[in-house]
């Protein structure tokens, strides 16, 4: 273990540093402004640095690693038990410094900039799909108040809405006709945006070797393969497939509980 152990509480502008030697004696207690963080750590000997796995943690972990330090990202729930005293930045940094020395805490793998970019792509795509669904449901709700029901499916909705707007003899009011045109334009823009995001995912999928290996598994396509690569990165972190399944939230106990609840519900309802 390095002679210098540091707990770093990161924030938007003011960072708190708490450092101890290998005997646990505090040697550093100070605040840093954002623009002075890397300058400060560049002057230190190689240290073990603990950071809570939160917003911007992966960025700082990458930058501090470049300076020769060993950085561990700690899950927030494992740091909380080490907090002594009231909730403040200094006590949080001290708690991180104590938690980082524990060998039984599983650290969060540091994501590369490419992984985070790919993860951002998936999140934006998911948000766009949710927005498209919300717009579609709102259109159906508004027009159902006028007794107009559109067929199931997005393409059927767009076709029916376009026909309704262009029909000069339709009974809808001018305001509703204008709103329908605005919604149709928004849906078209969202559809084009989602299509472009899908193309970016497909392009990355074809160029990435890890994605191509994942694609050999039945049922895994571009979306799932790129999502796994963005979240996992290094599969050797998992002991086996069962460990990976548990990380995803699938384990025998969960499945058994689900089946038990389903069986109980069926028995009670007949």
**Residue-wise pLDDT tens digits, 204-260:** 999 999 999 999 999 999 999 999 999 987 788 888 888 888 777 776 665 556 556
Residue 118 above 90 pLDDT? yes
Domain boundary among 38, 67, 100: 100
User: Does this model's pTM top 0.85?
Assistant: no
Are 228 and 137 within one domain? Answer: yes
When pLDDT is averaged across residues 262-266 and rounded to a whole number, the result is: 54
Distance between CA atoms of residues 242 and 264, nearest Å: 27
Domain count, the chain: 2
What pLDDT does residue 167 have? 82
Same domain, 119 and 151: yes
Indicate whether 186 belongs to any domain: yes
The reply to whether 199 and 133 lie within a common domain is yes
Residue 139 located in a structural domain: yes
Does residue 45 share a domain with residue 155?
no
| Nearest CA among 66, 59, 94 for reference residue 79 | 94
Q: Give yes or no for residue 262 having a pLDDT over 80.
A: no
CATH of the domain at 77: 3.30.420.10
Mean pLDDT estimate for the chain: 89
Confirm whether 245 is domain-assigned: no
Question: 88 and 192: one domain?
Answer: no
Domain for residue 243, yes or no? no
Q: Identify whether residues 223 and 139 lie together within a single domain.
A: yes
Least confident of 131-145, 156-170, 203-217: 156-170
Shared domain for 119 and 64, answered yes or no, is no
Structural domain contains residue 268:
no
CA distances from 159 to 75, 151, 163, 184, 196 (A): 49, 10, 6, 10, 22
Task: Judge if 125 and 202 occupy the same domain.
Answer: yes
Is the domain of 159 the same as that of 221?
A: yes
Please check whether residue 226 lies inside any domain of the structure: yes
- Whole-number Cα distances in Å, 161 to 122, 154, 158: 29, 10, 5
- 84 plus 126 within the same structural domain: no
Domain annotation covers residue 260: no
One domain for residues 52 and 124: no
Give the residue numbers spanning the domain of 62. Answer: 4-100
In a domain, 261, yes or no: no
Candidates 146, 144, 185; CA nearest to 162 is: 185
Domain match, 33 and 63 both: yes
SS (H, E, C) the chain: CCCCEEEEECCCCEEEEEEECCCCCEEEEEEEEHHHHHHHHHCCCCCEEEEECCCCHHHHHHHHHHCCCEEEEECHHHHHHHCCCCCCHHHHHHHHHHHCCCCCCCCECCCCHHHHHHHHHHHHHHHHHHHHHHHHHHHHHHHHCCCCCCCCCHHHHHHHHHHHHHCCCCCCCHHHHHHHHHHHHHHHHHHHHHHHHHHHHHHHHHHCHHHHHHCCCCCCCHHHHHHHHHHCCCHHHCCCHHHHHHHHCCCHHHHHHHHHHHHHHHHHHC
Better pLDDT: 189 or 24 = 189
């Amino acid at each position: 273990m390095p002679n210098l152990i540091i707990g770093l509480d990161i924030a938007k502008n003011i960072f708190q540093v708490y450092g101890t030697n290998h005997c646990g004696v505090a040697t550093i207690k100070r605040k840093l402004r954002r623009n002075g963080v890397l300058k400060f750590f560049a002057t230190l000997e190689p240290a073990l640095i603990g950071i809570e796995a939160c917003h911007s943690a992966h960025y700082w972990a990458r930058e501090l690693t470049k300076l020769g330090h060993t950085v561990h990202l700690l899950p927030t729930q494992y740091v909380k038990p080490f907090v002594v005293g009231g909730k403040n930045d200094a006590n949080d940094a001290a708690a991180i410094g104590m938690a980082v020395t524990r060998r039984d805490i599983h650290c969060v793998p540091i994501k590369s900039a490419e992984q985070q970019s790919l993860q951002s792509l998936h999140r934006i795509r998911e948000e766009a799909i949710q927005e498209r669904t919300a717009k579609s449901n709102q259109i159906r709700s508004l027009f159902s108040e006028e007794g107009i029901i559109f067929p199931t499916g997005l393409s059927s909705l767009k076709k029916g809405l376009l026909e309704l707007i262009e029909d000069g003899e339709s009974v809808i009011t001018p305001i509703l006709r204008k709103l329908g045109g605005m919604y149709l334009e928004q849906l078209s823009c969202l559809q084009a945006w989602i299509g472009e995001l899908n193309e970016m995912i497909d392009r990355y999928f074809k160029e990435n070797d890890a994605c191509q290996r994942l694609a050999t598994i039945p049922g895994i396509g571009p979306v799932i393969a790129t999502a796994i690569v963005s979240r996992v990165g290094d599969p050797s972190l998992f002991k086996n497939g069962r460990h990976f399944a548990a990380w995803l939230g699938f384990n025998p106990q969960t499945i058994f509980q689900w089946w038990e609840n389903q069986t109980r519900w069926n028995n009670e309802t007949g």
